[in-house]
Structure 1
Amino acid sequence: SIGSGHEIVVFTNRETGSLGPRSVQLPVWAVNRPARILHEQFNLPFLLRRERIDVLLNPGFTAPLLVSLPQVTVFHDLQHKRHPEYFRWFDLPFWRFFLWAAAHKSRRLIAVSEATRDDLIRFYRLPAAKIDVVHHGVEQAFFDMPGGREHGGYLLCASTTHPHKNHDRLLAAFARLRAERPAARLVLTGVRGFSAGRVTDLIAGLNLGGSVDLKGWVSREELYELFRGASGFIYPSLFEGFGMPVIEALAAGLPVACSNIEPLRGIAAGTALLFDPEREDSILDALRALHDGRAPSGGRERAAQFTWHGAAGQTIAALELAYRK
């Protein structure tokens, strides 16, 4: 209904499959980044002409560079500029070239947070007027979860096991919490990242096997169950473009403790306990507060401001503006 008056064609990858009569399934897997980029650069332009596309939305950093139609590209972060040490050396040239090229090729950009917008202006020297900030939304399933959890249950951290997610300090702090409060439990879930092996080794080395449950990737329904059963949520990331798990935890009615960094600080807006993610003592204090039921709660009103309906409307507006210019 938001896009009424427009004809929308969705190009999907093989993982997604068909989304109806106005979708075009591409013969590439999204997880195969080299193949996907090659297809985007050399095959997608042909499909855009065939489908008579007037304006193109690129939802993930990169854009076809050999087309003349107006484009809007979504940037989730500029981590490769802020923290290149977290990238493999052979990945960095890709990120540096294609993201810079997409940012300058696109008529308009969407940043998922004010922090990402500021990074685009700083690192790519782009005018602020070219960038629209469109926050992510939150699924209704999180709001439907019962609020008012009793303290004493497990604490939850939902995060890919990448270095910047800061599992090292979290586990070290949790080991100290366990020494004080032997009943404390921690559940970790998320896609296996570059630090997955180290996280497993740390759990064993700190003798946390009986108190830390490393779930890894779980289905969406399993994730909902983990949120329903948790008594608190902790997110110790060193860098974020948006911080989706924090908003989801607030929507679920959980007490939340998260890193005192942007954009998490602005997203939580006083409804979460903030800590210094680079100080183990600060993380420990946050864990104590969550475990003992002393962390803030009542973040659902804040989370309700982040809706996919609103995000869709802002995205359509950005596309219309790009087309008119």
Structure 2
Amino acid sequence: MKLALDLTSLCRRHTGMEYYALNLSRALLETDGKDEFHFFFRREIHPELQAFANRAVFHLSPFGSQVATEQVWVPGMERKIKADLIHFPAFPPGLLSKTPKVATVFDSTLWHKTERLSWKAKTYFAPLAGRALKKSRKILTISASAKAEIAAATKIPESKIAVSHLAPDPIFERPVMGEHKQAVRTKYTLPERFIFSVATLEPRKNLSGLLDSFSRLVGKEPEARLILAGRLAWGKEQVLKRIAELKLEKQTQVLGYVPKEDLPALYALADFLAFPSFYEGFGLPVLEAQSVGTPVLCSNTSSLPEVAGNSVFFVDPHVGESVTDGLKKLWSDEALKKDLIQKGKENVFRFSWRKTASATRAVYEEVLNG
């Protein structure tokens, strides 16, 4: 097969979709020795894939514009190379794309959580994603929960949607050495003990609710500290305002985007991960924390029970006292944390990028042979 992957959304600052596109591409190249791969990039050929130059043909867009690249250059390139199939792992296909295609849709937010979308997502991304559902031969998504919700929200038959789970980045497979942890602690001026939360600063992540519950914890445990890491998106003003309203400036640090090289140490230094999101298509921070032996508190909603199994402390993100009680228990109960650490180590072994690549390639074959 001659397979093309649209990696034009990849940049140096990765969030969930970009991590997926990068790690899936790498795993496909590591596990598939017979197909011909063509990767499309914008701005630069990603440094982490340059080592695979002998396994794939790299194409770089001449356009700086995202719209021109997606809507003009990619459709032209897929025709030029005569691809058998093109996969859009992070962004929907352009309007002129004619090649048999697979598109990854991460969750149903675009169709039934619209009040939590940015203006750009509503006016540009959502219409393209809706068209992708109709025009793609097959849709990939990242959890059974997301599959059911996408089908319900869009009326697309579930038979058209396949699931391939995520997994932690390979960087989480390496031991987190003591000197690296100390360097990260110094870099971010971290306290001795802290709760860690990783999430893009946007409403569906429920960071304002987390802050409310954390404020109640501080009332009982004045030494408690909260570290927030994640891209400063369109909900950042709400989060920063809530920190000020609750007078938590001294107890809370907002790190913004953190390079992935620092993430394993940040997780490892934390007492536990707090992840009370309203909605997730998958919930990768759960597995990232468990990979380095950090216990997890997370929501009992959407995909998170599927991903976490019985390995976390579940809370109801819609009930403030539920989150508060969870924070209090994990802050003070060492036996509970020890139990969750062991369960987390067992849970994370259920997921790997090799499994994801295998499931994805099976979808490619189904599309071309079906």
Alpha-carbon spacing, 1:139–1:204, altered in 2? closer, same or farther (3 Å): same
Counterpart in the other structure of 2:277: 237
Counterpart in the other structure of 1:297: 341
Question: Secondary structure at 1:98's aligned position in 2?
Answer: helix
Alpha-carbon spacing, 1:67–1:96, altered in 2? closer, same or farther (3 Å): closer
In terms of fraction of residues, the more helix-rich structure is: 2
Assess if the C-alpha contact under 8 Å between 2:264 and 2:292 holds in 1. no
Is it true that 1:24 corresponds to 2:64 in the alignment?
no
Counterpart in the other structure of 2:235: 195
Deviation of 1:282 after TM superposition, in Å, equals: 0.7
Among candidates 266, 281, 284, match of residue 226 of structure 1: 266
Separation in structure 1 between the aligned mates of residue 66 and residue 35 of structure 2, nearest angstrom: 27
- Computed over aligned residues only, the root mean square deviation of the Cα atoms, in angstroms, reads 2.0
Separation in structure 1 between the aligned mates of residue 273 and residue 141 of structure 2, nearest angstrom: 26
Among candidates 47, 64, 81, match of residue 111 of structure 2: 81
Separation in structure 2 between the aligned mates of residue 304 and residue 13 of structure 1, nearest angstrom: 34
Q: How does 1:51-62 map to 2 (within 5 A)?
A: 51-62=81-92
Deviation of 1:144 after TM superposition, in Å, equals: 3.8
Separation in structure 2 between the aligned mates of residue 244 and residue 94 of structure 1, nearest angstrom: 26
Deviations along 1:149-190, whole A, 9 cap, x unmatched?
xxx821100111101111111111111111101111111100
- Structure 1 unaligned blocks of 5 or more: 30-34
Deviation of 1:89 after TM superposition, in Å, equals: 4.7
Question: Secondary structure at 2:255's aligned position in 1?
Answer: strand
Assess if the C-alpha contact under 8 Å between 1:11 and 1:24 holds in 2. yes
Deviating beyond 3 angstroms after TM superposition, the runs of 4 or more aligned structure 1 residues are 15-19, 88-91, 143-147
Separation in structure 2 between the aligned mates of residue 284 and residue 243 of structure 1, nearest angstrom: 20
Question: Secondary structure at 1:43's aligned position in 2?
Answer: helix
Question: Secondary structure at 1:8's aligned position in 2?
Answer: strand
Alpha-carbon spacing, 1:202–1:250, altered in 2? closer, same or farther (3 Å): same
Structure number with higher relative contact order (C-alpha < 8 Å, ≥ 6 residues apart): 1
Question: Secondary structure at 1:135's aligned position in 2?
Answer: coil
Q: How does 1:83-232 map to 2 (within 5 A)?
A: 83-89=113-119, 91-145=121-175, 153-232=193-272
Counterpart in the other structure of 1:322: 367
Assess if the C-alpha contact under 8 Å between 1:61 and 1:102 holds in 2. no
Among candidates 94, 115, 120, match of residue 64 of structure 1: 94
Assess if the C-alpha contact under 8 Å between 2:45 and 2:58 holds in 1. no
Q: Which amino acid aligns with 2:143?
A: S
Deviation of 1:139 after TM superposition, in Å, equals: 2.5
Q: How does 1:268-307 map to 2 (within 5 A)?
A: 268-292=308-332, 293=334, 294-295=336-337, 296-298=340-342, 299-307=344-352
Question: Secondary structure at 1:220's aligned position in 2?
Answer: coil
Counterpart in the other structure of 2:353: 308
Q: Which amino acid aligns with 2:99?
A: L
Question: Secondary structure at 2:244's aligned position in 1?
Answer: helix
Counterpart in the other structure of 2:11: none
Q: Which amino acid aligns with 1:236?
A: P
Deviation of 1:93 after TM superposition, in Å, equals: 3.5
TM-score by length of 2: 0.80
Alpha-carbon spacing, 1:15–1:115, altered in 2? closer, same or farther (3 Å): farther
Separation in structure 2 between the aligned mates of residue 236 and residue 3 of structure 1, nearest angstrom: 37
Assess if the C-alpha contact under 8 Å between 1:160 and 1:192 holds in 2. yes
Identity of aligned residues (%): 28
Larger deviation: 205-214 or 138-147? 138-147
Alpha-carbon spacing, 1:143–1:301, altered in 2? closer, same or farther (3 Å): farther
Deviation of 1:28 after TM superposition, in Å, equals: 4.7
Deviation of 1:26 after TM superposition, in Å, equals: 1.7
Deviation of 1:90 after TM superposition, in Å, equals: 5.9
Counterpart in the other structure of 2:181: none
Assess if the C-alpha contact under 8 Å between 2:194 and 2:271 holds in 1. yes
Q: What is the total number of aligned residue pairs between the two structures?
A: 316
